[in-house]
Chains A and B, each alone.
Chain A
Amino acid sequence: KAGVTQTPRYLIKTRGQQVTLSCSPISGHRSVSWYQQTPGQGLQFLFEYFSETQRNKGNFPGRFSGRQFSNSRSEMNVSTLELGDSALYLCASSLMPREKLFFGSGTQLSVL
């Protein structure tokens, strides 16, 4: 069974641009959550989706948004990028909320 797939693996953008990251969960998993990982702040929860509905959102500005499609694939978008958005963005999926999370390799975003 394929794991959680995140694309692209690396991304370099400049301030002010916007970016879309993609996540394909493990087949059959309906819950997808996103995290931002930085050396200073650790892993921070961004949002969680289940059956195309956002169930929870972390403390991030409105520039961070996401969605989930009917096939459970998810995207997150960051608009008007800032230098501080440079981070590893991790996606995780689970069969149902509260179940064991399976993490992808992440997308390393660098904002110049």
Chain B
Amino acid sequence: AQSVSQHNHHVILSEAASLELGCNYSYGGTVNLFWYVQYPGQHLQLLLKYFSGDPLVKGIKGFEAEFIKSKFSFNLRKPSVQWSDTAEYFCAANSGNNNDMRFGAGTRLTVKP
């Protein structure tokens, strides 16, 4: 069955620490991968997406993610987090040309000032 899993439920970091949030997917065939973020009191919004091409994808606010096909992973990274990165992060995937998006359970990131 198609699924997305995120390893960390809650991550707490200090400002300037490096971030890596894990995401693994289980999909057959072509897969499109996404990271969405939900800041407190705001809508879900897209951070970055991967469809094809360069497996290292750069998104907004200094985030990047690397697609590793052999590991079925799409981990999110940021070299130096800020207090304003406190939010919930969702990894998501869909297949082919569909919008049947499957989301991971989410990782809550708390950045201490």
A103-B36 Cα distance, complex, nearest whole Å: 10
Q: At the interface, is chain A mostly helix, strand, loop or mixed?
A: strand
Please count how many residues in chain B sit with their CB below 8 Å of the partner chain's CB atoms. Answer: 22
Q: What is the count of residue pairs linking A and B with beta-carbon distances less than 8 angstroms? A: 61
Q: Are B32 and A90 in contact (CB under 8 A)?
A: no
Q: Are A101 and B99 in contact (CB under 8 A)?
A: yes
Interface size class of A (residues with CB under 8 A): 20 to 34
Interface residues of B in 74-113 (CB under 8 A from A): 90, 92, 94, 96-106
Q: What would be 23 A-B contacts, judged by CB atoms less than 8 Å apart?
A: A4-B43, A31-B99, A35-B101, A42-B90, A42-B103, A43-B90, A43-B92, A43-B106, A45-B100, A45-B101, A45-B103, A48-B98, A48-B99, A48-B100, A55-B100, A90-B44, A92-B44, A97-B98, A98-B32, A98-B51, A101-B36, A101-B44, A104-B43
Chain B positions within 8 Å of A, measured between CB atoms, are: 32, 36, 43-46, 49, 51, 90, 92, 94, 96-106
Chain A positions within 8 Å of B, measured between CB atoms, are: 3-4, 31, 33, 35, 41-45, 48, 50, 55-56, 58, 90, 92, 94, 97-98, 100-105
